[in-house]
Structure formats: structure tokens, C-alpha cells
Amino acid sequence: MADGRTTLSAYRLMWMLVMFDLPVGTKAERKAAAEFRFQLLDYGFEMAQYSVYMRFCVSQHQAETMSARIASALPEDGKVSILLFTDKQYERILSFCGRSQQPGKEPPPQFHLF
């Protein structure tokens, strides 16, 4: 931009999707699963579905840092997957409730670096 600001590209802005399947057969397992979900919320994630959480990241570096935090908070058992995709790819998500297509979520406002 001519005024010295740099607009971040939707191809560089990242979304982080954390999907998990954790055991909940015992009281200790339920507690560990709940603590993991609360930790994700503390990290700024929002629940997309019960075992699917999403967070916006402004860079690959921030996504890598967040991945390391998640790795340190993992419960002993269960499966956790982390998927990263660009903001541009996020715009193409199709969501349905029953057979009705839902409007897409608004992406966060563009950031300007001065």
C-alpha cells in the first residue's frame, strides 16, 4: 500500500482446526477430556462441534507455537489431530444443518501492519 501499511494476505493467514476423540469411560478419563477442552478454550479456540475446535492464527509461526502448546496439554490417551488451512480455503467451507445450507462464517477483519 502506498501509505506504508501492509495488508496480510488471505493466503498466509491461517486457521487451526483441532479434532479429537478422547476416551470417557472412567471418571479420570472424563476429567482429562474436559480439561483438554477447557485448555483449548483458554488458548482462544471456539467450539465448532463437540470434539472440533477452531482458532484463527495470523501466521505460520503462531500456528506452530499453538501446536506446541496443544501437544503439551494432550491427555494420556485418545487421538488428537491438528489441521491447518489458509483463510482463503476457510472461505470455501460449506456448512449444513440437516439439509439446509448455512451461511458461511464471516472471516475476521483484515489486519494492517504499520
The answer to whether position 44 is within a domain reads yes
Asked whether residue 47 carries a pLDDT value surpassing 90, the answer given is yes
CA nearest neighbour of 15 among 112, 114, 96, 104 = 104
Query: How many domains does one find in the chain?
Result: 1
Phi-psi label, residue 78: left if phi above 0, alpha if psi -120 to 50, beta otherwise: left
The DSSP bridge pattern shows strands 6-7 and 14-21 to be unpaired
pLDDT average, residue stretch 67-88: 94
**What domain range is 64 assigned to?**
18-91
The answer to whether position 55 is within a domain reads yes
What's the chain's average pLDDT?
Answer: 86
The answer to whether position 49 is within a domain reads yes
Give the pLDDT confidence score for residue 1 in this predicted structure. 45
The answer to whether position 10 is within a domain reads no
The answer to whether position 32 is within a domain reads yes
Give the pLDDT confidence score for residue 91 in this predicted structure. 85
The answer to whether position 105 is within a domain reads no
The answer to whether position 13 is within a domain reads no
The answer to whether position 37 is within a domain reads yes
Residue 82 β-bridge partners: 18
| DSSP letter (8 states) at residue 76 | S
